[in-house]
Amino acid sequence: MADPIGPSIRDVARLAGVSHQTVSRVLNNPAAVAASTRMRVDRAIAQLGYRPNVAARALKTHRSQLVGVLVARNSLFVAQDGLSRLEMTLRDRGMRVLMSGLAGSSRSDARHSVAPLLAQGVDAVVIAANEAGARELAYELAGAYPVVVLTPGVTAEAGLSSAAIDLEAGVKDVVAHLVDRGDRLLRHIAGPPTYTTTAARATAWIHELNHRELPVRPIVNVVNTAQGGYDAARAILDHDVPDAIFCFNDLVAIGAIRALQERGLRVPHDVAVVGVDDMPGADHVLPSLTTLRQPLQDLGEVGATLLLELLAGQPARSALIAPELVVRESSAGTRERGS
Amino acid sequence: MADPIGPSIRDVARLAGVSHQTVSRVLNNPAAVAASTRMRVDRAIAQLGYRPNVAARALKTHRSQLVGVLVARNSLFVAQDGLSRLEMTLRDRGMRVLMSGLAGSSRSDARHSVAPLLAQGVDAVVIAANEAGARELAYELAGAYPVVVLTPGVTAEAGLSSAAIDLEAGVKDVVAHLVDRGDRLLRHIAGPPTYTTTAARATAWIHELNHRELPVRPIVNVVNTAQGGYDAARAILDHDVPDAIFCFNDLVAIGAIRALQERGLRVPHDVAVVGVDDMPGADHVLPSLTTLRQPLQDLGEVGATLLLELLAGQPARSALIAPELVVRESSAGTRERGS
DNA sequence: AGGAAACATGTGATCGGTCACAAGATTGAC
DNA sequence: GTCAATCTTGTGACCGATCACATGTTTCCT
């Protein structure tokens, strides 16, 4: 059905009255062909509707023009256009994206997910997953393939570049914002321990609190859902009522806010809440969410750029993208101290 | 870097002391090889770490084992694991997924996005986009490729199968639910006109209202965002206050609820709100959203199944997946009539 | 005008599989 | 014991590109 195998390079050659090699040259290095000949060939190509056979080309050249992308299921990077942006940037450079979903969080899960990509003969691999196993896999692969990792805390080495949102810097902004409005007892609801981002974010948080000599008590959440945030917030409230809660992301923040309201605490009057992501709807939810916006589209673009650099033989490097603090209702106003 | 071209089928043959054709047989039709020979070959394969070269195979067989998937940017199908599920189901059958993002909504935008997929020699195409242009493209492609469309209102023809969530049935449930709780003046905030789903949903809505002899006045929204829902709701309220609003999706519903609250209307006491999708967080937002849950993962799986059927030469067909009405706070309780 | 360098084009081998066909070995029926 | 059918394995061509190399033509410098 998809078969009726089209014309080959030799058919074009015959029609244009040149050799097959000349046609190949027109395709790959037009400058090496006389203008008049080139025009004749181009016309023949158009006339026959010729399209090069990628399999034949890959067979001979040992390059597939394929980039394998390992993506976590349910990841915001995918949802928020990040993957699309990566793909479109690569597409413009003649590369195609082979996608593979990642199920679990262990290293063997990750290995299992890349296998088909490698079997397909990809030229390079992009790892867009915060799962710990995926990150380990990246180092494993780095010897054999150009690899780009889109997750924080990955050191660039030969053949392995990395890009991430600089949430360490973002966390600084969050703390500054909360302290400015008069909050002192700050709590953090961290993410699932299997994400590399969880530790990164929690560490930055603790570091910043220590720096400002504020009390520190983080809580690790187990699931990346609103329910997880709800449960974690209740656990916090069983202990005491903080001035503000910084949540792993907006989804978790939504759950936390519900828990607060149920206890009769008003947001932001009694407790301020800050999330991360600026997920769709965060601006209209009640109350709207103060959040660290992650420019995931930029991440996709930077990732593509890093990959193209590696493929061009340039050295591996790390890139950081700054997030943006968007202040909304959930942390609006100023706390009147001395109450 | 990804080069050091591995052993070929002939290397394996030499080591096992057989002909290259026998190795090929072990790979493709093991039953046709004597058990003892097969074992020798298998051992040689393992010993050399041989992996078949997909390019060579594709060159000869004219099948790439690649499925091209056209996905709308920012689509929930992607976000909610639908794409992952599609990919994983296909992966189990030895197929790989080539992804291509869709930018605009016109037919030429769609054509521009599939082009690289076709150039790469995919065996089939999946269209996971509600954009009108993408649907038109599906018919265009159906003659030359097996095509599966994941959007409503597509008629199955030779080589073109389709799957969609049966929102017509879902809309019935929504109306029944609202009428049950005593609502009579029902309004609809539709989606962007460029989505095929917008018309499908609005039509089903109007049909159902007519059927029950209720007043009909749908509103078409222009953008698929919370802000769009907010604006549309305000436009409705400028006219009168309905008993309930059925929104294009949860995101739009969130915006609508904000508009209602700003006018001093309580949800669901004064106005009930129903969305579609059951997006992450819909269960913890304030108020939590009554919604038509779209089983997008199932959609991915069914899509994969339809595709495999087409590739196996079976006839095209359409499949519908039932959504599920999840009642939550935004339409809880019963309206006391006669006020 | 002669000869080297640069330019333009062609020839045949090759990448690593599968396909069509041939041929030897084994089995079973009569 | 013979012959056909079946099973098992091997041989060589071929898919459609690119690569290395060869050859013929211009260009241009001395």
Q: What is the pLDDT of residue B222?
A: 78
Provide the token pair at A45: 């190509």
Interval A161-219: pLDDT, tens: 999 999 999 999 999 999 999 999 999 999 999 999 999 899 999 999 999 999 998 78
Specify the pLDDT at position B4: 55
Q: Residue A195: beta bridge partners?
A: A131
pLDDT (0 to 100) of residue B337 = 54
Beta strands in B12-89 (DSSP E): 66-72
C1' of C10 to CA of B18 (Å): 39
Structure tokens at B17: 């002391």
Size of interface A-B (CB pairs under 8 A): 184
Choose from A99, A261, A296 for mutation: most chain B CBs within 10 A: A99
Nucleotide nearest to A61 (CA to C1'): D18
Q: How far is residue B138 CA from its own chain's centroid?
A: 14
pLDDT tens string B307-325: 999 999 999 999 999 999 9
Residue written as token pair 């519908």: B320
Min CA distance, B127 vs chain A (Å)? 15
Q: How far apart are CA B107 and CA B136, in angstroms?
A: 7
Q: Which amino acid is residue B208, in one-letter code?
A: E
CA–CA dist B263, B274 (Å, integer): 18
Q: What's the average model confidence in pLDDT over A286-298?
A: 96
Q: How far is the CA of B27 from the C1' of C28 (A)?
A: 31
> DSSP E strands: which ranges in chain B?
66-72, 96-102, 124-128, 147-149, 160-165, 186-189, 218-219, 244-247, 272-277, 290-293, 318-321, 324-326
Spatial CA neighbour of B242 closest among B287, B178, B292:
B178
CB burial of B300-320 (b: ≥16 within 10 Å; e: otherwise) equals bbbbbbbbbbbbeeeebebbe
* Tokens coding A104: 């679990």
| B284–A258 C-beta distance less than 8 A | yes
If one compares A337 and A98, the residue with the highest pLDDT of the two is A98
* Average pLDDT score over residue span B291-309: 95
Nearest-Cα distance to chain A for B296, in Å, is 12
Q: Which residues contact B207 (CB under 8 A, 6 or more apart)?
A: none
Q: Of B75-79, B120-124, B256-260, which range is least confident?
A: B75-79
Half-sphere exposure of A44 (CA within 13 A, CB side): 25
pLDDT digits (tens, 9 = 90+) for B45-71: 999 999 999 999 999 999 999 999 999
Residue-level pLDDT at B78: 74
From residue B305, how far is each of B63, B148, B190, B319 by CA, in Å?
19, 10, 31, 10
- For range B197-219, the mean pLDDT: 91
From chain B, pick out residues whose CB is under 8 angstroms from the CB of A83. Answer: 78, 99, 101
A contact residues 39-98, partner B, Cβ 8 Å cutoff: 51-56, 58-59, 62, 64-66, 69, 71, 73-74, 76, 78-81, 83-85, 87-88, 91, 96-98
Element (H, E) at A188: strand A186-189
Strand C bases near protein CB (under 7 Å) are 7-12, 14-20
Q: What is the pLDDT of residues A214-233, one digit of tens each?
A: 999 878 788 999 999 999 99
Contact A99 B97 (CB under 8 A): yes
Mutate to test the interface with A, among B273, B284, B286, B329 (most CBs of A within 10 A): B284
- Chain A residues whose beta carbon lies within 8 Å of the beta carbon of residue B76: 79
Whole-number CA gyration radius for chain A = 26
Task: Find out whether B232 and B202 touch, Cβ atoms under 8 Å.
Answer: no
CA distance B276 to B224: 12
Average pLDDT taken over every residue of chain B: 92
Evaluate whether B97 touches B125 at the Cβ level (below 8 Å). no
User: How sure is the predictor about A57, in pLDDT bands with cuts at 50, 70 and 90?
Assistant: very high
Instruction: Estimate in Å the CA B55 to C1' C14 gap, whole number.
Output: 15
Give the alpha-carbon dihedral of B233, B237, B243, B244, to 10 degrees.
Answer: -10
Asked if A51's CB is within 8 angstroms of B257's CB, the reply is no
pLDDT tier, A1 (very low <50, low <70, confident <90, very high otherwise): very low
Instruction: Tell me if A62 and B285 make a contact (CB, 8 A cut-off).
Output: no
Give this prediction's pTM.
0.91
Phi-psi region of B266 (alpha: psi -120 to 50; beta: other; left: phi over 0): beta
> A334: Cβ under 7 Å from strand D?
no
pLDDT over 50 at A338, yes or no: no
3-class state of residue B166 by DSSP: coil
Return the SS3 of B100.
Answer: strand
Lowest mean pLDDT among A20-34, B64-78, B247-261: B64-78
A74 to chain B, minimum CA–CA distance in Å?
6
Q: Are strands B186-189 and B147-149 parallel, antiparallel or unpaired?
A: unpaired
Q: Which of A1-5, A190-194, B187-191, B308-312 has the lowest mean pLDDT?
A: A1-5
Closest CA relative to residue B187, chosen from B238, B226, B151, B225: B238
Give CA–CA dist B104/B110, Å, rounded: 7
**Residue B257, CB half-sphere, CA atoms under 13 Å: how many?**
30
